[in-house]
């Protein structure tokens, strides 16, 4: 289990007076302090970790957010921002001595502007609600994380969320135009707008994926795209994951960027098929779900090209959707992969490394060995187009040390991803889950630079501390520190 920073007993002692002070800013039911009511906020999507917050505050306006943050800043109280709490990396895990600042009351779509292909929304609006508000005009919001029913756009910005279509349409960072945010000092800052290039330094880019460590997002301007005229899915099975991997490489080498390109391994296919009956082939080692979108004439052409490439790579089965219902059925399996795996195991840990695609079969082989080493099963779903792996490690938290073993297994998988040229997290964020693995990918100098950037936004280290970085440094200390040749002068600083 990962450790969190020690709670400050002085702050914990002042809990009642802090709640009273917050009530003055956010009156009525906007402050939650009973244990029963706060239990909802105890954890996020990384359910193995739980912590009762000091107090929860649910402001309604940007001005209230600014006052809450200003109060926390002046009184040196930590703040954990929270959207819908669907983070899979523990990004919204509370702190015993920290205020949870929930943005659930920011749930309005403020403006839809078709002329400029954008919408201004509050951060608590769900990802799917944006698409639902514009789909009657043929528009949609492109990033589609699998939690899109529940997850909020504010959380998407904080985590730079992806989804199955981001190979072609980009991540959150590529689909937002502007932000309003509040710094811990209470200062309100607007970045970008409805124009394409924001001015000055690309702080919009830095905020996206900053996991609640830099500022609290209070408004987002998102790009809206016109839905492609047609989309069809081709479902191709392969006798080995290597063949499937080669097929993916050949498709891209042929200059084709599919709208989505997903891979599942045998255990995942079987779990899914039992659960949703998407009519997936069961006698294959790897299954590719490839969506091609655009005008019908283009899609037909691409389906043929992709089918030919699949045949060349020894596919054993191939089916193309002939109706919208069938297309959705083909996707239904993939989209239900996590709950399907949840049915065959009491608990699972969802990993999120990205690798250069051509190293896939090597990584899968390595993973099979690790599975034996740790004595736990693993099922794989994989955003094949962009190399983003989601190994699902199956365990039972009630059995001995299985959770600890699952965590070790996960860490080994991520080390393997980095070793082959990949990264620790493709779309779920570092949070607490991958925090202590950051040094596998970054040197002390790399991390010190990122932490100095954090200091530019929050020099008291009050916003979401204990996440992302394995070591807490005071900003003054970082300012003095000189990291020579990637090494700190004092490498043995205690890590929490």
Q: Which stretch binds another protein (CB under 8 A): 55-63, 147-155, 224-232, 322-330?
A: 224-232
Strands laid side by side in the 188-192 sheet:
109-113, 118-121, 216-223, 176-182, 188-192
301 touches another protein by CB under 8 A: yes
Which of positions 48-107 make contact with another protein (CB under 8 A)? none
Which of positions 186-215 make contact with another protein (CB under 8 A)? 187-191, 193-197, 199-203, 205-206, 208-210, 213-214
Residue 384 near residue 262, CB atoms below 8 Å? yes
152 touches another protein by CB under 8 A: no
Q: Which stretch binds another protein (CB under 8 A): 140-148, 329-337, 405-413, 482-490?
A: 482-490
Residue 171 Cβ, how far from another protein at the closest point, in Å?
7
Residue with tokens 């921002």: 81
Among 52, 133, 455, 472, binds another protein (CB under 8 A): 455
Instruction: Report how far residue 31's alpha carbon sits from residue 62's, in angstroms, rounded to the nearest whole number.
Output: 16
339 touches another protein by CB under 8 A: no
Q: Which stretch binds another protein (CB under 8 A): 1-9, 43-51, 140-148, 381-389?
A: 381-389
Q: Which is nearer to another protein, 82 or 434 (CB)?
A: 434
Residue 204 near residue 172, CB atoms below 8 Å? no
Phi, psi of 236 (to 5 degrees): -125, 130
Residue 165 Cβ, how far from another protein at the closest point, in Å?
12
| Helix pair 360-374, 241-253: axis angle to 10 deg | 150
119 touches another protein by CB under 8 A: no
Q: Which DSSP string corresponds to 97-153?
A: TEEEEE-TT---EEEEETTTTEEEE-TTSBHHHHHHHHGGGTEE-S---TTTTT-BH
Angle in degrees, CA 385, 127, 323, rounded to 5: 60
Which of positions 269-298 make contact with another protein (CB under 8 A)? 294-295, 297-298
Q: Taking the CA atoms of the chain, what radius of gyration do you get in angstroms? A: 23
Among 226, 277, 343, 399, binds another protein (CB under 8 A): 226
Q: Residue 127 is encoded by which pair of tokens?
A: 């990802």
Q: Which stretch binds another protein (CB under 8 A): 12-20, 326-334, 395-403, 424-432?
A: 424-432
231 touches another protein by CB under 8 A: no
Residue 182 Cβ, how far from another protein at the closest point, in Å?
10
19 touches another protein by CB under 8 A: no
Q: Which is nearer to another protein, 78 or 435 (CB)?
A: 435
Residue with tokens 């002692």: 13
Among 253, 322, 323, 398, binds another protein (CB under 8 A): 253
Residue 250 Cβ, how far from another protein at the closest point, in Å?
8
Residue 126 near residue 466, CB atoms below 8 Å? no
Q: Which is nearer to another protein, 30 or 83 (CB)?
A: 83
Helix (H/G/I), strand (E/B), else coil: 492 = coil
Q: Residue 411 is encoded by which pair of tokens?
A: 């860490």
452 touches another protein by CB under 8 A: yes
362 touches another protein by CB under 8 A: no
Angle in degrees, CA 146, 150, 155, rounded to 5: 85
Q: Which is nearer to another protein, 384 or 406 (CB)?
A: 384
């Amino acid at each position: 289990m990962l450790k969190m920073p020690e709670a400050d007993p002085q702050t914990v002692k002042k809990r009642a007076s802090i709640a009273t002070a917050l009530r003055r800013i956010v009156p009525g039911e906007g402050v939650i302090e009973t244990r029963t009511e706060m239990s909802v906020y105890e954890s996020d999507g990384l359910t193995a970790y739980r912590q009762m917050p000091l107090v929860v505050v649910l402001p309604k306006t940007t001005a209230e957010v600014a006052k809450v943050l200003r109060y926390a800043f002046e009184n040196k109280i930590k703040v954990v921002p929270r959207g819908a709490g669907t983070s899979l990396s523990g990004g919204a895990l509370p702190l015993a001595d920290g205020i949870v600042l929930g943005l659930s009351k920011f749930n309005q779509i403020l403006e839809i502007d078709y002329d400029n292909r954008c919408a201004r929304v509050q951060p608590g609006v769900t990802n799917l609600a944006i698409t639902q508000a514009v789909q009657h005009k043929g528009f949609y919001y492109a990033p589609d994380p699998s939690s899109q029913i529940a997850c909020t756009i504010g959380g998407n910005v904080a985590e730079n969320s992806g989804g199955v279509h981001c190979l072609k349409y980009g991540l959150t960072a590529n689909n937002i135009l502007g932000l309003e945010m509040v710094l811990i000092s209470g200062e309100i800052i607007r970045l970008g707008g409805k124009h394409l290039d924001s001015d000055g330094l690309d702080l919009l880019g830095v905020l996206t994926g900053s996991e609640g460590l830099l500022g609290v997002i209070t408004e987002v301007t998102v790009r809206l795209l016109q839905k492609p005229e047609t989309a069809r899915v081709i479902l191709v099975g392969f006798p080995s994951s290597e063949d499937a991997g080669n097929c993916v490489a050949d498709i891209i080498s042929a200059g084709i960027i599919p709208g989505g390109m997903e891979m599942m391994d045998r255990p995942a296919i079987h779990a899914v098929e039992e659960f949703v009956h998407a009519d997936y082939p069961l006698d294959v080692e790897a299954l590719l779900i490839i969506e091609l979108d655009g005008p019908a004439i283009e899609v037909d052409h691409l389906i043929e090209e992709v089918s030919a490439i699949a045949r060349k790579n020894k596919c054993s089965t191939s089916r193309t959707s002939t109706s919208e219902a069938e297309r959705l059925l083909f996707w239904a399996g993939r989209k239900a992969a996590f709950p399907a795996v949840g049915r065959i195991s009491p608990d699972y840990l969802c990993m999120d490394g990205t690798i250069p695609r051509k190293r896939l079969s090597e990584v899968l082989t390595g993973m099979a060995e690790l599975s034996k080493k740790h004595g736990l099963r693993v099922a794989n779903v994989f955003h094949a187009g962009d190399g983003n792996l989601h190994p699902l490690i199956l365990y039972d938290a009630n059995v001995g040390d299985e959770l600890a073993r699952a965590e070790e297994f996960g860490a080994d998988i991520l080390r393997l991803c980095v070793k082959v040229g990949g990264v620790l997290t493709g779309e779920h964020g570092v949070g607490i889950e991958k925090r202590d693995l950051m040094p596998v990918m970054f040197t002390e100098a790399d991390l010190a630079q990122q932490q100095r950037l954090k200091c530019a936004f929050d020099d008291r280290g009050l916003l979401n501390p204990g996440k992302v970085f394995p070591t807490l440094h005071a900003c003054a200390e970082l300012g003095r520190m000189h990291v020579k040749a990637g090494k700190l002068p004092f490498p043995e600083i205690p890590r929490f």
